[in-house]
Structure 1
Amino acid sequence: MIKRTDCFKQLDALIDKPQVKILTGIRRCGKSSILLLLKAELIKKGITTEQIIHINLESFTFSELLTAPKLYQYVAEKIKDKKIYLLLDEIQEVEHWEKAINSFLVDFDVDIYLTGSNSHLLSSELATYLTGRYVEIPIYTLSFAEYLQFKTVYSKDKKQDNKSEFLSYLRLGGFPVIHTANYAAETAYKVIYDIYSSAILRDTVQRYKIRDIELLERVIKYVFDNIGNTFSGKNIADYFKSQQRKVDINTIYNYLHALAGAFILYQTARYDIKGKEILKTQEKFFLSDIGLLYATMGFKDRNISGILENIVFLELKHRKYNVFVGKFGDKEIDFVAEKHGKKIYVQVAYKIDSEATVQREFSTLLNIKDQYPKYVVTMDDFWKESVEGVKHLHIADFLLDENY
């Protein structure tokens, strides 16, 4: 089992800290594996196995623990005099779980680690019980660098140059389970579709009590078809209206909210660079893994620029940037990313194949008169000249660059 360095480093630094540690992300992104690695690390540090209680709440073994009182009773009976390390996988399966967690903190000497596949774990209920006493650790599917690490360990195929490997990453996405076996693309997409179906059924339809599944699927198709484009719930409602179907705009927003809650989508607001304010309209939505697109709609390269944007977006999230879509006058910057008071600007394009493309991708960045790094990221193999300080990188090089 590979230790995903960035994820694990953050978690390791929080061992024995008083906050509840909550790992969140789409199903099968690697949360459970990280908990297993944590368990091994605790034992390595001298913690006895009797001090570690590890429960996967999706396992039938623990199917009787899906209410707060039952979970509390089970754990309380196992706690002796020593400090306990409590690892609870898929905690959202437990009804009123936050009450049990709060009681553990009050009643016992315990260090708590949770995983969850729904972002609304961190909702008002949790805030009420655990205000200031939890830290969220977002877990994403594999970055390109992590994919290369997995490829080295698990694949029988000889590792190729980074640009060739990127084409494989582009086709398969980053779900860890895909890269621990030598799946052909067709089989990989079937595995990813099963993950998608579970996330839709359990973390979206059931959790949010959605009845019109056919409408939900049509909303998903609209979003998946518009990766890299700004749009609003009204745009979706207008599209359905053009198809002779009237849909309440609040229903659209509820569905988008539910899909984001299940980590199928990430919503990204626009940021006015001149006005230095976050705008409330025309967001972009990105997929939690590009493999979801291929698994549900087949491999399409007609929206290759949007697909590349999605991959860059996830890389920036991996690196813990706050990511926005930039607005500069009437022009768009694909990404304005902020971290620790610093910014980078990123434009993403498939190819720089004409003077018009050069003007479109570089000119807006050149008009931003600050000293923060600016990048144009493409799949060009040969033309990679920087223009007046704006760096032009192949996307594989950008994803592996450690300088931002």
Structure 2
Amino acid sequence: MINRPIYVDKIMAYVNTPFVKILTGIRRCGKSTILKMLIDEMKEQGIRDEQILHYSFDSLEYEDIKTANALFAHLKQHLFLKGKTYLFLDEIQEVKSWEKVVNSLMTGYDVDIYVTGSNSRMMSSEISTYLTGRYIAFRIYPLSFFEYMIFRKEYTEVLDPHTELANYLRLGGFPAVHLQKYTPDEVYTIVKDIYNSTIFTDIVRRNQIRKVDQLERIVKFAFDNVGRTFSAASISKYLKSENRAIDNETVYNYLSKLENAYILHRCSRFDVQGKEILKTQEKFYLADSALRYSVLGYSADSAAAMLENIIYLELLRRGYEVYVGKLDSAEIDFMAVKQENKLYIQVAQEIGSPETEKREYGRLLDIRDNYPKYVLRTDAFAGGNYEGIKTMHVADFLLSDEY
């Protein structure tokens, strides 16, 4: 296993605290492996094997433990009687009413519990009801660019970061595709399988969706419009043009289900002057750039949008709340907020003319505050500062620890 300390260190800080540790994220982003890393780390710190119980509920091995009563009875029989038991419950959403089991164990037994799940029911009202104030959620993402570079070093020669960025953008960050050297076609075959299993297991089957073709058309529309503002009405209008009638409420319902399965991330607009979140014309970003290419095929003209996607995900990884900034009629690619910190970011694949330069930098200069402002690009440029705005290569920004 290649360690992912960005998550392991963060979670280990809560070992032996009275909270359930919940790891969520899209399928195959590495949650199960991180559980194993946590187990290894705990063993190194002196926790004995017999204190650890580890279950993967998407395995046939535990097919008979799919109800709350069965799980509770089984775990009670196997708890360590001479001290604390450490429970690792992988893909726990496969067990109906699992949160009742966890709540009962937390209140009546000496346990430390870690669970994973691949849909946002893990954050639902049921959990809030049964585990109020007693859980901490950790969002797990596919590999960051920094992690990607570490994985690549294990099996191939790594190029300079600026060159590797193009590979990262095209191949994405699912750990499974970076355990050995694969061709792009092989990568997309793996990622398409992740996509299909997520769509048909976490969305279609779980929600008993009958019109699968409607869902897939909405997916393709969203994938093809990454980085563009759109609404349910615009999707509905598009589908009607293809003689596929669908109402706005149904579109919103499908988009929400794609969010719940962590395939899509909704990015709201924020009025920089009015200081309020706007409820129209949102953007959607993907859990991983390779999802787009595995479903729609690779196209070089999508690179600019996917660069935005990469920056968006990196800001989320670092704990920022991320918005599309609105300043009068202009748009700021990202306004990112974390407690008292704030960043403004423009992303440009290249700036090929004075007019483009004026547009990209001018939008940031119009913001009248002293928070850091960045223009991130992938072409060559001279100097790193433009009237107080910092210019960085996208790869350097992703690897930086200054923000």
Query: Secondary structure of the equivalent of 2:63?
Result: helix
**What letter matches 1:171 in structure 2?**
R
The C-alpha deviation readout for 1:214-251, integer Å capped at 9, x for no partner, is 00000000000100001111111111122232201111
**What is the alpha-carbon distance in structure 1 between the residues aligned to residue 180 and residue 80 of structure 2?**
41
**What is the alpha-carbon distance in structure 2 between the residues aligned to residue 284 and residue 382 of structure 1?**
29
**What is the alpha-carbon distance in structure 1 between the residues aligned to residue 116 and residue 91 of structure 2?**
5
Which range moved further: 85-94 or 385-394? 385-394
Q: CA deviation at 1:39?
A: 0.5
**What is the alpha-carbon distance in structure 1 between the residues aligned to residue 350 and residue 80 of structure 2?**
63
Q: CA RMSD in A?
A: 1.0
**What letter matches 2:25 in structure 1?**
G
**What is the alpha-carbon distance in structure 1 between the residues aligned to residue 205 and residue 188 of structure 2?**
24
Which range moved further: 379-388 or 232-241? 379-388
Q: How does 1:1-400 map to 2 (within 5 A)?
A: 1-81=1-81, 82-153=83-154, 155=155, 157-383=156-382, 385-400=384-399
Q: Say whether the 8 Å CA contact 1:309–1:348 is kept in structure 2.
A: yes
**What letter matches 2:6 in structure 1?**
D
Which ranges of structure 1 fall in alignment gaps of 5 or more residues? none
**What letter matches 1:8 in structure 2?**
V
The C-alpha deviation readout for 1:105-162, integer Å capped at 9, x for no partner, is 1221110000000012111111110111111100000000010111112x2x322111
**What letter matches 2:60 in structure 1?**
F
**What is the alpha-carbon distance in structure 2 between the residues aligned to residue 5 and residue 247 of structure 1?**
45
**What is the alpha-carbon distance in structure 2 between the residues aligned to residue 386 and residue 133 of structure 1?**
46
Q: Say whether the 8 Å CA contact 1:290–1:310 is kept in structure 2.
A: yes
**What is the alpha-carbon distance in structure 2 between the residues aligned to residue 105 and residue 189 of structure 1?**
42
The C-alpha deviation readout for 1:78-99, integer Å capped at 9, x for no partner, is 0132211000000111111111
**What is the alpha-carbon distance in structure 1 between the residues aligned to residue 347 and residue 165 of structure 2?**
16
Q: Which runs of 4+ in 1 moved over 3 A?
A: 382-385
Query: Secondary structure of the equivalent of 2:206?
Result: coil
Which ranges of structure 2 fall in alignment gaps of 5 or more residues? none
Query: Secondary structure of the equivalent of 2:266?
Result: strand
TM-score by structure 2 length? 0.98
**What is the alpha-carbon distance in structure 1 between the residues aligned to residue 305 and residue 126 of structure 2?**
36
Q: CA deviation at 1:382?
A: 3.5
Query: Secondary structure of the equivalent of 1:71?
Result: helix
Q: Say whether the 8 Å CA contact 1:384–1:393 is kept in structure 2.
A: no
**What is the alpha-carbon distance in structure 1 between the residues aligned to residue 14 and residue 96 of structure 2?**
27
**What letter matches 2:226 in structure 1?**
I
**What letter matches 1:381 in structure 2?**
A
TM-score by structure 1 length? 0.98
